[in-house]
């Protein structure tokens, strides 16, 4: 059974058309948009055989729930996403690199984390089903297509999932300001799962205790912590830098 929901914004809709056009049921385009970007989208939809409905701005505002939609939205089937972590891990040929988000509730942060995950070749993003934002239209828009390319897997028990990763030989590393090991001192070359905590709260106690190791990002200024999406980008960049070297 299809799980239909709405996504909006040019990046989110065009990425879905490009990568999973069979999941796009229909596209809504603001009738007075006649610029090149809109024309390209209409052409792409026609090539993929996707129905396009021209609507006025007021209706599009209502469909998008007041969010900035850029004159385009689409109704898509969200049931086709990768559902199980095993589906990813059992088919990997590269050294695993995973991102675990412990209770990220801000959709802009999740979207930005997904963009970093896509940029640095993360094989899957893992998050708890509860106390987390999940993939919604805002996340898709901020992710600029990364929500379609990076498997996003929700789990019931995060600590148990971390232990399952450890049983597979994946080193589970949490980012924490109070850690004694610095990011550039830590060796990133083996199978790795980065664990980053929620905005303001950091890692939960059980998550922290389950990690194999805690690592801190060196801070030289007066601020005590960084936004979770910024921290994600820094940690993933350093991992890829070391692996490339």
Binding residues: 197, 217, 226
Look at residues 149, 146, 170 and name the one whose alpha carbon lies nearest to residue 239.
Answer: 170
Q: What is the 3-state secondary structure (H, E, C) of the chain?
A: CCCEEEEECHHHHHHHHHHHHHHEEEEEEECCCCCHHHHHHHHHHHHHCCEEEEECHHHHHHHCCCCCCCCEEEEEEHHHCCCCHHHHHCCCCCCCEEEEEECCCCHHHHHHHHHHHHHCCCCEEEEECCCCCCCCHHHHHHHCCHHHHCCEEEECCHHHHHHHHHHCCCEEEEECCCCCEECCCCCCCCCEEEEEEECCCECCHHHHHHCCEEEECCCCCCCCCCCHHHHHHHHHHHHHHHHHC
Report the alpha-carbon distance of residue 70 to residue 206 in Å, rounded.
Answer: 42
Place of tokens 């300001």: 177
Annotated binding site for S-adenosyl-L-methionine: 197, 217, 226
Q: Going by DSSP bridges, is the β-strand pair 97-102/72-77 parallel, antiparallel, or unpaired?
A: unpaired
Contact (CB, 8 A) for 104 and 199: yes
């Amino acid at each position: 059974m299809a799980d239909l929901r709405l996504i909006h914004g040019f990046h989110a809709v065009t990425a879905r058309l490009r990568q999973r056009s069979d999941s796009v049921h229909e596209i809504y385009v603001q009738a007075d948009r006649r610029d090149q970007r809109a024309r390209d989208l209409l052409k792409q939809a026609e090539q993929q055989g996707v129905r396009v409905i021209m609507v006025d701005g007021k209706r599009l505002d209502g469909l998008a729930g007041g969010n900035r939609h850029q004159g385009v939205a689409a109704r898509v089937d969200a049931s086709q996403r990768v559902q199980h972590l095993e589906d990813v891990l059992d088919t990997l040929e590269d050294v695993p690199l995973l991102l675990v988000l412990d209770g990220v509730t801000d959709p802009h942060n999740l979207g930005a984390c997904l963009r970093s995950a896509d940029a640095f070749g993360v094989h899957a993003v893992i998050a708890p089903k509860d106390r987390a934002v999940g993939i919604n239209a805002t996340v898709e828009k901020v992710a600029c297509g990364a929500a379609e390319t990076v498997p996003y897997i929700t789990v019931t028990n995060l600590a148990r999932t971390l232990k399952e990763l450890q049983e597979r030989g994946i080193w589970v590393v949490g980012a924490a300001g109070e850690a004694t090991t610095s990011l550039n001192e830590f060796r990133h070359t083996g199978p790795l799962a980065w664990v980053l905590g929620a905005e303001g709260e950091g890692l939960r106690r059980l998550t922290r205790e389950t990690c194999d190791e805690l690592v801190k990002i060196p801070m030289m200024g007066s601020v005590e912590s960084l936004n979770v999406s910024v921290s994600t980008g820094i940690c993933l960049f350093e991992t890829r830098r070391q692996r490339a070297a």
